[in-house]
């Protein structure tokens, strides 16, 4: 099966960050030509007055929590978690699957082709991934058995999940750890052992709130980053979500150990966690920074265009410097840097010959993106575009949406099922 995206502005995100007028030719799920494609294909998508981007990658998510969207707005983290846990305790496998499928449809509609999840029952999320056709980097959440609602040992659950799904073309399994507030040194060590033995990645929350950092320091004598380094958990296989309450020395520790960070500015701002992640320092010290929406409880949406804009503006405002986190860097967070953070930068994150064809086509025809021209294209993508401007989404060469129509699932049915499931949860 071949596919031609014809007549657009190709935002390659290659090393030179070139924007090339022309097309992208895809064969067998791979990009075979960029620019002057000069070929016929089984299917052609007209990309006139559109940008063709690498598919966006959401680097930190809890996708099944779409069903909890709006139940705990305008609350700080701890009361929000109390409400979330009360509903979470009632979730069934069917609920998780439909919540995840709803989230996958939302991501397809806004040009996100892959997401990095942290949850339990990730096998149900994997079903949603395969049904919808997006890529899922799925981390089974582990924590101390005394603190979990999971049946059985969370670490053993995670290992079984990894063993079952390794080698899946769309599902990349990994091991998650909830955070230092819910996992002992033994749990962290066991989780890391599973990841090392199976050759998969790790995913954890880290330094999200001041309380997390100070409470852990009071308990152990060490801040979370210091403690995780002492127990040997920090290395290049780890993506740490948030990284808000970090000192400069801790940033340098993450850089030295090769840890990537998933920056989640909208979630952190909505929960009023205080502080701003030291992203400029991370960039300066060589930490790979990606962008995540976090949970639909604490972000409500999955529009990576909105989060790119916020990521850029937040740091400009707090540093009093309009040059901090420019548009190109924000776009990098959601594309090539996200791919690198997840260890797939050699296959995804940019539009280059030989890479897998995960792509998004973004219309530049709207009044809010007019006028556009090559010189302002990148800034338009970050500061003007919205997820609703995405007209086509492609994963591995398969068209999941075109002309604004979701082709991979029955969108109306998914929405109706999710609404009914939520009603049952809240009325029970």
Across the chain, which has 428 residues, the per-10-residue mean pLDDT values are 96 98 96 85 96 98 96 86 82 95 98 97 97 98 92 96 97 98 98 98 97 97 98 98 98 98 97 93 98 96 98 98 98 98 98 98 97 94 98 98 97 98 85
Q: Which residues contact 213 (CB under 8 A, 6 or more apart)?
A: 207, 223, 224, 245
pLDDT of residue 112: 98
DSSP code of 367?
G
* Region(s) of the chain under CATH 3.20.20.140: 56-341
- pTM score above 0.95: yes
Distance, CA of 299 to CA of 296 (rounded, Å): 5
pLDDT of residue 40: 87
Vertex 39: Cα angle to 36 and 41 (nearest 5): 130
Distance, CA of 219 to CA of 223 (rounded, Å): 9
Quick one: which of 325, 393, 389, 352 has its CA closest to 57?
393
Distance, CA of 422 to CA of 33 (rounded, Å): 45
Distance, CA of 267 to CA of 290 (rounded, Å): 14
Q: What CATH number has the domain spanning 2-54+348-406? A: 2.30.40.10
CB-neighbour burial class of residue 130 (10 A; exposed 0-12, middle 13-18, buried 19+): middle
> At 20, which helix (H) or strand (E)?
strand 19-27
What pairing do the DSSP bridges indicate for beta strands 135-142 and 43-46? unpaired
* Region(s) of the chain under CATH 2.30.40.10: 2-54+348-406
pLDDT of residue 64: 96
Distance, CA of 426 to CA of 173 (rounded, Å): 31
Q: What CATH number has the domain spanning 56-341? A: 3.20.20.140
Q: Which residues contact 410 (CB under 8 A, 6 or more apart)?
A: none
The torsion angles phi and psi of 148, rounded to 5 degrees, stand at: -100, 155
Q: Which residues pair with 22 in a beta bridge?
A: 8
């Amino acid at each position: 099966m071949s596919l031609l995206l014809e007549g657009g502005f190709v935002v390659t995100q290659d090393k030179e960050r070139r924007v090339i007028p022309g097309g992208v030719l895809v064969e067998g799920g791979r990009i075979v030509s960029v620019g002057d494609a000069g070929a016929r294909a089984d299917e052609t998508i007209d990309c006139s007055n559109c940008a063709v981007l690498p598919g966006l990658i959401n680097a930190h998510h809890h996708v099944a929590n779409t069903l909890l969207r709006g139940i705990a707005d305008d609350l700080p983290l701890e009361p929000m978690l109390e409400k979330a846990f009360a509903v979470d305790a009632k979730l069934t496998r069917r609920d998780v699957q439909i919540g995840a499928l709803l989230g996958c449809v939302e991501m397809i509609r806004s040009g996100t082709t892959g997401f990095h999840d942290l949850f339990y029952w990730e096998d149900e999320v994997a079903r949603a991934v395969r049904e919808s056709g997006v890529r899922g980097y799925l981390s089974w959440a582990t924590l101390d058995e005394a603190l979990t609602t999971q049946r059985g040992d969370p670490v053993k659950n995670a290992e079984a999940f990894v063993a079952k799904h390794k080698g899946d073309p769309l599902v990349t399994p990994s091991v998650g750890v909830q955070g230092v507030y819910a996992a002992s040194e033994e749990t962290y060590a066991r989780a890391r052992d599973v990841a090392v033995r199976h050759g998969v990645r790790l995913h954890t929350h880290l330094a999200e709130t001041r309380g997390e950092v100070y409470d852990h320091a009071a308990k152990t004598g060490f801040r979370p980053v210091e403690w995780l380094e002492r127990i040997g958990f920090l290395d290049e296989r780890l993506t740490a979500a948030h990284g808000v309450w970090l000192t400069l020395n801790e940033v340098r520790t993450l850089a030295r150990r090769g840890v990537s960070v998933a920056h989640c500015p909208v979630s952190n701002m909505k929960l009023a966690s205080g502080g701003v992640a030291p992203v400029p320092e991370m960039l300066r010290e060589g930490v790979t920074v990606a962008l995540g929406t976090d949970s639909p409880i604490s972000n409500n949406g999955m529009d990576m265009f909105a989060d790119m804009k916020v990521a850029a503006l937040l740091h400009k405002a707090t540093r009093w410097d309009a040059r901090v986190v420019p548009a190109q860097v924000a776009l990098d967070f959601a594309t090539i840097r996200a791919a690198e953070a997840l260890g797939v930068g050699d296959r995804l994150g940019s539009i280059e010959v030989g890479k897998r064809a995960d792509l998004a086509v973004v219309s530049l025809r709207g009044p809010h993106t007019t006028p556009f021209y090559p010189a302002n294209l990148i800034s338009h993508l970050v500061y003007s575009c919205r997820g609703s401007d995405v007209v086509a989404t492609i994963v591995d060469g398969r068209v999941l949406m075109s002309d604004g129509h979701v082709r991979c699932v029955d969108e109306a049915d998914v929405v109706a099922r999710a609404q009914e499931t939520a009603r049952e949860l809240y009325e029970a």
